[in-house]
Amino acid sequence: MITSLTLAPVVAAVLILVLPERRARSVALAGALVSLSLTAYLLTQFDLAAGGLQFSEKAEWIPALGIDYYVGLDGTNALVLLLSALLVTIVVAASWQHTDRPRTYFALLCLQFTGLFGTFTALNFFHWFLYWELALVPAFFLIKLFGKGEERHSAALNFFLFTVLGSVAMLLGFLFLYQQTDTFDFIELAKKGVDVSPLIFCAVLAGLWVKVPLAPLHIWQAPAYAAAPTPVTMLLTGVMSKMGVYGFLRLIVPIFPEQLKQHADALMAFALVTILWGAFLALRQTDLKRLLAFSSLNHVAYCILGVGALGIAADGLKVDAHALATQGIILQMFAHGLAAAGLFYLVGLLEKRTGLCDRNDFGGLSSVAPRFAAMFFILTFCSLGLPFMAGFAAEFLIFSGTFAVAPGVTAAATLGLLATAVFLLTMLQRVFTGPINEQYRSMPDLTRNEILILTPVMILIFWAGIYPTTWLEFSQKLTQMIP
């Protein structure tokens, strides 16, 4: 079934290329809905009491090299797979009015969907890496061919070069690892507890570092987010940045536990720098897309702060710091993916309606577009971490876990929360309050279809904030295996 949900978008891409062009969006939506339906079915059938790997599919592929086709679902990837399946469906719906070369556009989207699903379910490095790269290539062409302005070319190139160089480093690291272990199987590697040279560890780390991204390898992010079409930006911030965080949980934590312990302090230090630097850069922005891009940089770095905490001894504590941090990381991927994708969608609508994307160009929009303002406020408050929203539950868990093992770094990281409040509330004030700019007095409010697109996001944000247990249960058994 995992194979079916992964390959459904590929089938859709093939059909898009052979059917009349006017059918492209409908076929893409059908492929996305198939994947979402199968994902929802798998999660409803997931045995929470048993935990561990479920729905696994394994078949020999290249036996001489120890390469198997191996996929499965567990607490590490359950929520991020649901996030991906939901957002790819929303992205197709958000692209419904796209008319520029729709066959090419929707076929590339579908290929990227398969890359994302495969990355989050593959358990053998060989075909995991194929999916990892498959998610990269369509994104490059989507930015370059359908992005905004001339800057799209340089933004796409920087995105491609940074991520490919990181991928090459990771590939080399795993090839050397294979020479020592004779396996590409993630589960087997985790059981063996490999002892590798620092260079191999750093090579694997580099590929994930770029994808998250962490400072100083983050410079591709803001230009790519600003230049990409809005639905593609929703994928980049909502799902693709989570590929890096997921890689830390799937590769670094279980396969390189000793190396993580040795470098946990340095990793937390870089996460702290990224949190503060992302917030500082966001404070300086007036372009709404760049502001949200740096906000995303800041928020995803909280996950890596939690990963660093998993490498610090937690013996003798009154709380299970590692369990708190692990569940916080997984819930933060889910919460941030929903909120960030929703905010970029609304900013894209604002740009489409007005032709502008600078926070200083607006004012008083809440009086002319109250539904738009309400949605924007809710998603922003989720990013701020207000209680009863998913962002609060996730960040509270991360900070509870990290403070128990590294109180100094965690206390410093809370400055990022203060800065986040400043730049996000300033954004709300400039765009939605004060005297209205007369030229936007007739700006249309959200339509029924636009509200429907955002409704699942809103439901999940409050559900995960008010009753997070529903989602935390998927990773409950996983935390018992974290040392």
Are 305 and 218 in contact by the 8 Å Cβ rule? The answer is no
How far apart (Å, rounded) are the C-alpha atoms in residues 52 and 424?
Answer: 39
- Say what the pLDDT of residue 475 is: 86
Residues 233, 225 contacting (CB under 8 angstroms): yes
| Cα–Cα distance for residue pair 483/481, rounded to 1 Å | 6
Q: What is the pLDDT of residue 51?
A: 79
- Count the neighbouring beta carbons within 10 Å of the beta carbon of residue 326: 29
* Residue type (1 letter), 445: D
- Which pLDDT value is given to residue 440? 83
**What's the token pair of residue 208?**
């994930």
- Token readout for 193 is 């507890």
Residue type, 342: G
Q: Which residues pair with 68 in a beta bridge?
A: 60
CA dist., res. 212 & res. 304, Å (int): 9
d(CA 69, CA 58): 5
Which SS3 state, helix, strand or coil, does residue 208 take?
A: helix
> pLDDT value at position 381?
96
Two structure tokens written together for 470: 């529903």
Helix (H, G, I), strand (E, B) or coil at 421: helix
In whole angstroms, give the CA distance from residue 279 to residue 260.
26
Q: What per-residue confidence (pLDDT) applies to 158?
A: 94
Alpha carbon 145 to chain centroid, angstroms: 23
pLDDT of residue 477: 74
pLDDT value of residue 441? 84
pLDDT tens track, the chain, 483 positions: 999 999 999 999 999 999 999 999 999 999 999 999 999 999 999 998 887 899 999 998 988 888 899 999 999 999 999 999 999 999 999 999 999 999 999 999 999 999 999 999 999 999 899 999 999 999 999 999 999 888 899 999 999 999 999 999 999 999 999 988 888 999 999 887 777 888 899 999 999 999 999 999 999 999 999 999 999 999 999 999 999 999 999 999 999 999 999 999 999 999 999 999 999 999 999 999 999 999 999 999 999 999 999 999 877 777 789 999 999 999 999 999 999 999 999 999 999 998 888 888 888 899 999 999 999 999 999 999 999 999 999 999 999 999 999 999 999 999 999 999 999 999 999 999 988 877 888 889 999 999 999 999 999 999 999 999 999 999 887 765 554
Distance from C-alpha of 29 to C-alpha of 22, rounded to nearest angstrom: 13
Phi/psi-derived region of residue 302, left when phi > 0, alpha when psi is between -120 and 50, beta in every other case: alpha
